[in-house]
Amino acid sequence: MTSARTAYRASILHSIADPAEVGIEASYEYFDDGLLIVSDGRIEALGEAESLLAELPAGTEVIEHDNGLLMPGFIDTHIHYPQTGMIAAYGEQLLDWLNNYTFPAEREFENPEHAAEVADVFIRELLRNGTTSALVFGTVHKASVDAFFSAAEQRNLRMIGGKVLMDRNAPDYLTDTAESGYQDSRELIERWHGKGRLHYAVTPRFAPTSTDEQLASAGQLLREYDGLYMHTHLSENRDEVEWVKSLFPQCSGYLDVYDHFNLLSERSVFAHGIHLCDDECRRLSETGSAIAFCPTSNLFLGSGLFNLPKMEQHGVNVGLGTDVGAGTSFSILQTLNEAYKVMQLQGAKLSPFKSLYLATLGGARALRLEDRIGSFAPGNEADFVLLDYHCTPLMQYRMQQARTLDERLFVLMTLGDDRAVRATFAAGQCVHQRD
């Protein structure tokens, strides 16, 4: 059998470590004139074009990408696909926003045709923005998850998703029960978990919308199947935190509710984590749990400022989340733009290389997928993006003044959005090409 080998010649950048652990210089690899060799959907080699071209088997196709950067696909560690059609809903903070906008929008997913339509729009939008993997909320309806996984499977994407578990404090039309939520989740796990590049996440919406019985059943699912994720929200909004304390007076705090039901592990991802005390950060760290930092959402809902340096001090894994539809952009570049400002407001800095890490390898580590995606290590799956330094007149003009890689990267992350994504590849196949 001949292998399907293609080489991409471009300026190539990838993150190889967390700058917080090894310093900036040791955290990335960059080839100004680089070559990425992809074979059978995986990374075969990366290096200087001149030397690799000399050894390339005769007849290998070489695709050239000028005036831009080739890097690993972006990883979004928290997003809600059913909220695609209600992004940019005016005027509320979390709890009113959920009741007034989110729940009515999610009700529509009882119709499988609607779910299929939105899943398709959603996946296209991810790919248009260069995002190749995501950890995704469905709705309470089983069919919402079937629609999402079908759309991801068609494009051979590495994706994680799950059905929302919600058996109280939500409208009747949107609740399951501890028993039906458990059974529906089992059915979906059997159907999708480990199929192709897909993984299942047990997905209690957040502590206030699940009874003790339902949180216990979530823990049971995690014990019954290997490799499942646990995906929920944590300490996003001050009113929410107070509500959780009143609903679970026997627990010492918000995180302790999840801990009590054995929901903290290396495959647990908690969105937000804005209002956490030191003990909670320590507990996240010792259980290997991850936080999804969702700056556009946190600013949009007025939730607060995420303290990334505090998480670094405690050794907590952090990835980036767009959190659409509370988040205001599918673009991880725009998410980094806002993350930088969130740090500025706290007197801290977010270097372009830390941003690169969060958007790629850091996200992969938060999802425990760093042996497959997030960098160009040989053998990894070939998920990557071609970014365009000339995508708008302003970007092109600004890039003429940028002298160094870190300057160009920072400009890309500050001004860039879907327009900067020339093409997106998953497992070596082109899954988006800008017009």
Site residues (vs ligand GUN, CB under 6 A):
80, 94, 98, 102, 205-206, 233, 236, 297, 323, 326
CB nearer to ligand GUN: give 184 or 236: 236
Residue 233 Cβ, how far from ligand GUN at the closest point, in Å?
A: 4
Residue 199 Cβ, how far from Zn ion at the closest point, in Å?
A: 18
102 binds, among ligand GUN, Zn ion, none (CB under 5 to 8 A by kind): ligand GUN
122 burial (CB, 10 Å; 0-12 / 13-18 / 19+) is: buried
CB nearer to ligand GUN: give 140 or 222: 140
Residue whose tokens read 């080998």: 5
CB nearer to ligand GUN: give 287 or 328: 328
CB nearer to Zn ion: give 323 or 383: 323
Q: How far apart are CA 249 and CA 242, in angstroms?
A: 10
236 binds, among ligand GUN, Zn ion, none (CB under 5 to 8 A by kind): ligand GUN
Beta bridge partners of 271: 233, 292
Residue 252 Cβ, how far from ligand GUN at the closest point, in Å?
A: 21
CB nearer to ligand GUN: give 176 or 383: 176
Q: What CA dihedral angle connects 140, 146, 147 and 152, to 10 degrees?
A: 120
CB nearer to ligand GUN: give 221 or 292: 292
Q: How far apart are CA 9 and CA 90, in angstroms?
A: 45
Looking at this protein, which amino acid is placed at residue 133? S
395 binds, among Zn ion, ligand GUN, none (CB under 5 to 8 A by kind): none
Residue 416: is the preceding peptide bond cis (ω within 30°)? no
Concatenated DSSP letters for 54-65? HHSPTT-EEEEE
Q: Which of 89, 95, 99 is nearest to 239 (CA)?
A: 95
Looking at this protein, which amino acid is placed at residue 302? G
Count Cα neighbours of 60 within 13 Å in the Cβ-side half-sphere: 23
Residue 80 Cβ, how far from ligand GUN at the closest point, in Å?
A: 5
The mark string for 243-282 relative to Zn ion (x by CB under 5 A, - otherwise) is ----------------------------x-----------
CB nearer to ligand GUN: give 236 or 383: 236
- Segment contacting Zn ion by CB under 5 A, of 246-254, 320-328, 407-415, 419-427: 320-328
206 binds, among ligand GUN, Zn ion, none (CB under 5 to 8 A by kind): ligand GUN
CB nearer to Zn ion: give 271 or 431: 271
Residue 224 Cβ, how far from ligand GUN at the closest point, in Å?
A: 25
Residue 17 Cβ, how far from Zn ion at the closest point, in Å?
A: 28
Q: Which of 423, 371, 413 is nearest to 158 (CA)?
A: 371
CB nearer to ligand GUN: give 185 or 210: 210
CB 202 within 8 A of CB 165: yes
**Site residue total, Zn ion (CB under 5 A):** 2
Residue 337 Cβ, how far from ligand GUN at the closest point, in Å?
A: 19
Q: How far apart are CA 164 and CA 301, in angstroms?
A: 21
CB nearer to ligand GUN: give 15 or 169: 169
Residue 349 Cβ, how far from ligand GUN at the closest point, in Å?
A: 26
Concatenated DSSP letters for 192-255? HTTSTTEEEEEEE--GGGS-HHHHHHHHHHHHHSTT-EEEEEES-SHHHHHHHHHH-TTSSSHH
- Segment contacting Zn ion by CB under 5 A, of 8-16, 157-165, 322-330, 410-418: 322-330
Rg (CA), the chain: 21
Q: How far apart are CA 164 and CA 205, in angstroms?
A: 6
Q: Does 323 bind Zn ion (CB under 5 A)?
A: yes
Residue 324 Cβ, how far from Zn ion at the closest point, in Å?
A: 9
Three-state secondary structure call for residue 88: coil
98 binds, among Zn ion, ligand GUN, none (CB under 5 to 8 A by kind): ligand GUN
Residue 130 Cβ, how far from ligand GUN at the closest point, in Å?
A: 22
Q: Is the dihedral of CA 203, 120, 301, 340 positive or negative?
A: positive
18 binds, among Zn ion, ligand GUN, none (CB under 5 to 8 A by kind): none
310 burial (CB, 10 Å; 0-12 / 13-18 / 19+) is: middle
β-strand pairing of 290-293 with 317-320: parallel
Q: Which residues contact Zn ion (rule: CB under 5 A)?
A: 271, 323
